[in-house]
């Protein structure tokens, strides 16, 4: 059996540790030394694998984002209709495991650095682009092209805003409130759409099964 490369094992291990510290202390509060100490190795060793701090945090953010991406994929895989795909994106973003203040902190830290760090900008752009294309692809089966772009944008803007709130207020917005707000928005745009309501119910159920 082909033993897993030690390099990739270490890389993932340190990325995970860095990501956890990032959630707790933000970008400026996360030092290479702390990551090394928590991981139980020397700072030199961490630097050996990543070269510098920016690369380390970049990998840490990719690690954290991979989770969310996986959540979206898991729901999309079980979706059969356009509306189910729309709700997959929404429910994944407010999943019980991932819609937490800590993750929101890490994400806001990233966003604050984006204007000054190209590497972080790429990650952020990728996240937004993926969300947009998932939403537009699904919505364009439901309405015209221009409307799908507009609705996709408004949904993702609301998601951003809601994540921000959850990170800011100590008693931030709950998963239920967040979902209710998006639902009210969609309900105003597509009132009484049977397909939509059925899709919402089904994806909500799948969500409950995946995270009991």
CB 68 → DNA: shortest distance, Å? 25
Q: Segment 48-87, which members bind DNA (CB under 7 A)?
A: 48, 51-54
Size of the site for a second copy (CB under 8 A): 41
Q: Is 109 in the site for a second copy (CB under 8 A)?
A: yes
Q: Is 154 in the site for a second copy (CB under 8 A)?
A: yes
Residue 145 CB neighbours (<10 A)? 10
Binding mask 12-51 for DNA (x = CB under 7 A): -----------------x-xxxx------xxxxx-xx--x
Query: Among residues 7, 102, 128, 129, which is the contact residue for DNA, using CB under 7 A?
Result: 7
Q: Is 168 in the site for a second copy (CB under 8 A)?
A: yes
Task: Report residue 184 as tokens.
Answer: 């009210």
C-alpha distances (whole Å) from 206 to each of 8, 182, 210, 212 are 33, 19, 6, 10
Q: Are 131 and 89 in contact (CB under 8 A)?
A: yes
CB 34 → DNA: shortest distance, Å? 7
C-alpha 69/C-alpha 154 separation (Å) is 20
Q: Which helix (H) or strand (E) holds 191?
A: none
Q: Which helix (H) or strand (E) holds 126?
A: helix 118-139
C-alpha distances (whole Å) from 13 to each of 8, 33, 34, 59, 185 are 8, 15, 14, 11, 41
Q: Which residue has the tokens 């800011």?
A: 168
CB 13 → a second copy: shortest distance, Å? 26
Query: Among residues 161, 174, 208, 211, which is the contact residue for a second copy, using CB under 8 A?
Result: 161
Q: Segment 17-76, which members bind a second copy (CB under 8 A)?
A: 25-29
The residues of the shown chain that bind a second copy, judged by CB under 8 A, are 25-29, 101, 105, 108-109, 111-116, 121, 124-125, 128, 150, 153-154, 156-162, 164-165, 167-170, 180-181, 184-185, 188-189
């Amino acid at each position: 059996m082909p033993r897993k490369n030690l390099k990739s094992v270490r890389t993932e291990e340190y990325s995970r540790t860095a990501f956890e510290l990032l959630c707790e202390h933000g970008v400026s509060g996360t030092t290479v030394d702390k990551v090394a100490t928590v991981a139980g190795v020397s700072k030199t060793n961490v630097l050996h694998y990543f070269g510098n701090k920016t690369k380390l945090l970049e990998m840490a953010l990719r690690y954290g984002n991979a989770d969310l991406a996986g959540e979206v994929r898991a729901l999309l895989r079980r979706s059969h209709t356009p509306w189910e795909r729309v709700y997959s994106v929404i429910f994944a973003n407010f999943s019980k495991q991932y819609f937490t203040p800590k993750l929101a902190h890490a994400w806001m830290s990233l966003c604050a650095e984006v204007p000054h760090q190209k590497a972080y900008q790429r990650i952020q752009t990728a996240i937004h682009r993926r969300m947009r294309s998932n939403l537009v692809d699904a919505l364009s089966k439901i309405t015209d092209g221009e409307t799908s772009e507009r609705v996709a944008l408004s949904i993702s803007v609301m998601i951003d805003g809601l994540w921000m709130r959850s990170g800011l207020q100590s008693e931030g917005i709950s998963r239920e409130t967040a979902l209710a707000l998006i639902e009210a928005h969609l309900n105003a745009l597509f009132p009484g759409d049977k397909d939509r309501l059925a899709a919402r119910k089904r994806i909500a159920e799948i969500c409950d099964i995946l995270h009991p």
